[in-house]
A and B are shown apart, each in its own frame.
Chain A
Amino acid sequence: MIRVRSVDQPTLRDPAASGRVFFVGLFVLAIWQMARLTEFDLLTLFAAFTDPAPRNFLLGFFPPAHSVAFLTLALVETWRTVAIATCGMFIAGLIGLPIAILLTRVLSLSAIGQPQFGGAVFSGFLRRVLRSLMVFLRSVPELIWALLLVRVVGLGPTAGVLAIAISYSGMLGKVYAEIFESVDPLPTLSLLNQGASRLQAFAFGLLPQCSDELISYSVYRWECAVRSSVILGFVGAGGLGQQMDLSMKMFAGDEVCTLLILFVLLVSFADWASQALRKAWE
C-alpha cells in the first residue's frame, strides 16, 4: 500500500542531512587525527611565553645587535650568501646548458637523416637517460642535497655551492631545453641541412633567437638561489643562514634580529638587482 502525503503538509526533512552530517563528522575526525599526529597543543605555546628562556630570547630582539664587530661579521656572511648563490648558479649553468643542447631535438643530426654514431635509436635513448637524470637532480630538494653534501665535503660554503649547482642544473637543463624547443626551428634546420655542425647551428640559428629569454630566466633563478642559499646555511652550508642558526642556538635574540633584518634587505636587494639587470638587457 502506498501512503500519500497530503500537499498541505510539506515535509521539513532535509534530504541531504545524513550526507552532510557524515562529511562534517569525517572532517572533524580528520582534523582531530591530524592534530594528534602533529602534537598540536596550544597550551605549549602559551606556556612558552611564561618560560624565561624563550621570553628573554624574544625580549632580546630589541635593540638589534649593532656592535661594529658583529655588523662586520654579519655583512661578510651576507656577501658569502650571495657568493654561494652566484657560484652555484654559474656551475649549474655550465652543467645545464650543454645538457639542454644535447636534449634539444631540433639540433639532432640523426633526425635530418645524417648517419650518426649509434643512429637515431641510440640518440633517442641517450636523450631519455639524460632527461630522467635531470628529473632526478631537481626532484631531490636542495636542502637534502646540502644535508648529504655537508657529510661528504664538510661544513662550509663548498656544500652550499654544490647543492645549488646540482639541483639548479636539473632545473636549468629542463627549462633551457624547453626554451630552445619553443623558438622557430627553421633557421637551425636550414643551417644543419647546409652542413653546419651542431654547435654552429646552435650558435647562429638557435641562440640569437632566445638569448634574451635565457638571460632573463637565469637572472631570475639567481634571485631564487640567493634566497635558498640562506636556507641552506641552516644545515651548515655557510653564509647568513649558518650564522642565524648559530645565534639562535645561543639564544642571542639581538643577533637574530639583526640577521633577519639583513636577510630581508638582501632579498629585496636581489629582487632589485635582478630586475635592473633584466631591464638593462632588454
Chain B
Amino acid sequence: MNARWVALFSLLALIVASFLSLDLHWLVFFETDSVQSMGRFVLEFMHPDLQPQFVLKVWYASLETIAMSALSTLIAACLGLVIAFKASGVRPLLNLLRAVPELVWASLLLIAVGLGPFAGTLALALHTTGVLGRLYLEAIENQTDGPAFALRAAGASSAQVFFFAQLPQALPQLVSYTVYRWENNIRAAAVLGVVGAGGLGQMLSFHLGLFQMNKAATVIAATLILVALVDSLSDRIRRRLG
C-alpha cells in the first residue's frame, strides 16, 4: 500500500511541476483576434479544394506515399534477411537504427540527399531495418533447431541449412512481421513529409505554410482515407489469417 502512495504522489508531483514549468498560452482561445482567425480557418477547412487538377496532384502524392512505404519495407526486409542469415553481430547497430524515430532519420537524411521522397524512403528503410532485423533474428533463433540440426548432420553448408530449414520454418512469421511493418510504414510515410521528405505530408506542410486551408483540407482528407483503407484492409487480412 505504501508503494502505491509513493507512486501516486510522484505522478501528482510530475503533473503539477509540468503545468507550472511550461509557458502555456490558453488565453489565445479567448482573444477576439485569434478566435476570428480560427473561425476563418475552420470555415475554409469546410470547403476542400476539389478541382480535378488539384485532386490529381493529391492522388499522385498518395501514390508516392504508398511507394515510399512499400519500397522501404522491401529494402528493410532484404537487409533483415541478410542480417538474420549472416550478421547476428550487428545487434547493437540494429538497436541504434530502431531507437531513432523515422522522422529524425528523415530530417538527418535531408541534409545528405536533399528534399523529396528519396530521403523519406531511406529514413523509413533505416528504421524498419532496425525493427525487422531484430524480429527476424529472434524468429530464427527461437525456432526448434531439429530440421537445421538434421541438415547440418547430413553435411549441408550453412547456406543450405538457412535456405532449406531455417527460412522455410520461420517464413510465415517473417511474412506477418513484414506486412505489419508495411502497414506501420504507410502511416508513417503519410506524415513523414512534414519535414520535407515527400509524399502527402510534404504537400500538407507546403499548403499549410501558405495558409491555403482549403488545399490542406483536401490533403488531410486524402491522408485519412489512406489510413482508413490500410486499417480496414489489414483488419480483413488479419481476420482471414487468424
Q: In the complex, what residues of B have CB within 8 A of residue A161's CB? A: 22, 24
How many residues of chain B are within 8 Å of chain A by beta carbon? 64
How many residues of chain A are within 8 Å of chain B by beta carbon? 56
Interface status of A90 (Cβ within 8 A of chain B): yes
Interface status of B122 (Cβ within 8 A of chain A): yes
Contact A144 B23 (CB under 8 A): no
Q: In the complex, what residues of A have CB within 8 A of residue B14's CB? A: 82, 86
Among A18-26, A106-114, A135-143, A180-188, the stretch that binds chain B is A135-143
Is chain B's binding surface mostly helix, strand, loop or mixed? helix
Interface status of A14 (Cβ within 8 A of chain B): no
Q: In whole Å, how far is A13's beta carbon from the nearest beta carbon of chain B?
A: 25
Contact A48 B220 (CB under 8 A): no
Q: In the complex, what residues of B have CB within 8 A of residue A33's CB? A: 67
Interface status of B171 (Cβ within 8 A of chain A): no
Which residue of chain A has its CB nearest to the CB of B15?
A: A90
Among B3-11, B80-88, B146-154, B155-163, the stretch that binds chain A is B3-11
A51–B120 Cα distance when bound, in Å, is: 20
Is chain A's binding surface mostly helix, strand, loop or mixed? helix
Q: In whole Å, how far is A257's beta carbon from the nearest beta carbon of chain B?
A: 11
Contact B111 A251 (CB under 8 A): yes
Q: In whole Å, how far is B175's beta carbon from the nearest beta carbon of chain A?
A: 15
Interface status of A157 (Cβ within 8 A of chain B): yes
Q: In whole Å, how far is B18's beta carbon from the nearest beta carbon of chain A?
A: 4
Contact A227 B71 (CB under 8 A): no
Which residue of chain B has its CB nearest to the CB of A153?
A: B28
Contact B113 A34 (CB under 8 A): no
Q: Evaluate whether A141 and B107 lie within 8 angstroms (CB atoms) in the complex, with A40-B121, A86-B14 already known.
A: no
Q: Which residues of chain B from 71 to 100 have any CB-CB distance to chain A below 8 Å in the complex? A: 71, 74, 99-100
Contact B67 A144 (CB under 8 A): no
Interface status of B224 (Cβ within 8 A of chain A): yes
Interface status of A152 (Cβ within 8 A of chain B): yes
Interface status of B54 (Cβ within 8 A of chain A): no
Contact B224 A139 (CB under 8 A): yes
Among all A-B residue pairs, the 5 with the closest Cβ atoms: A83-B18, A280-B7, A48-B112, A86-B18, A37-B67
Residues of A within 8 A of B (CB): 31, 33-35, 37-41, 44-45, 48-49, 53-54, 57, 79-80, 82-84, 86-87, 90, 139-141, 143-144, 147-148, 151-154, 156-158, 161, 227, 230-231, 234-235, 244-245, 248, 251, 256, 260, 263-264, 267, 277, 280-281
CB<8 Å pairs between A and B, sample of 7: A34-B70, A37-B64, A39-B116, A45-B122, A86-B15, A147-B205, A153-B25
